Amino acid sequence: MHPFRKVLLAYSGSEGSEKALEVARAIAAGGELYLVTVVKIPEYVRSEDEEEEEREKAREYYKPLVERARKKANAREALIVFGDPAEEIVRVAEEIGADLIVLGVETKNPLMRKLGGVGDKVVDHAHCSVLVVR
């Protein structure tokens, strides 16, 4: 039996998430792979119209990127969601019943390593195993 039937890849198009894509694809062979891209809407957005405009811009930007990654990884589904990245990754993982979350991190910035980032928050709050790819 495959230990990870449902794998969720947190994908942003960054160098770290590209590495994570390759790892997730290999791990999910024989199971199901899902992709999620989380977009954080800027805090300066003041109205619902401005927020929807920002969401539409984000969808236009990320849709081709995410579709390319979905095809490359042979993922079952690719989602673009909005909100806090760590919270949304954990929420989607719970929603689909993921056995594993895979995410890539950029470790070049020493300040970000000390402050902790999305990866640390996902590890702290996920209901399933988390693989952080460097």
Alpha-carbon distance of 127 to 54, in angstroms, equals 31
For 41-56, write each residue's pLDDT tens digit.
888 878 889 999 999 9
Q: Give the gyration radius of the chain's Cα atoms.
A: 15
> Which pair of structure tokens corresponds to residue 32?
């199901």
Classify domain 6-133 at the CATH superfamily level: HUPs (3.40.50.620)
Between CA 99 and CA 96 the distance in angstroms is: 9
Decide if pLDDT at 1 tops 70: no
- Cα angle 104, 128, 15 (rounded to 5 degrees) comes to 5
pLDDT for the residue 116: 58
- Percent helix, strand, coil in the chain, to 5, is 50, 20, 30
Query: What is the tens place of the pLDDT at every residue in 75-116?
Result: 999 999 999 999 999 999 999 999 999 999 876 655 444 445
| 125: amino acid identity, one letter | H
Domain extent listing, the chain: 6-133
Confidence class of residue 3 from pLDDT cuts 50, 70 and 90? confident
Contact at 8 Å (CB) between 79 and 35? yes
Q: Distance between CA atoms of 26 and 19, rounded to whole angstroms?
A: 11
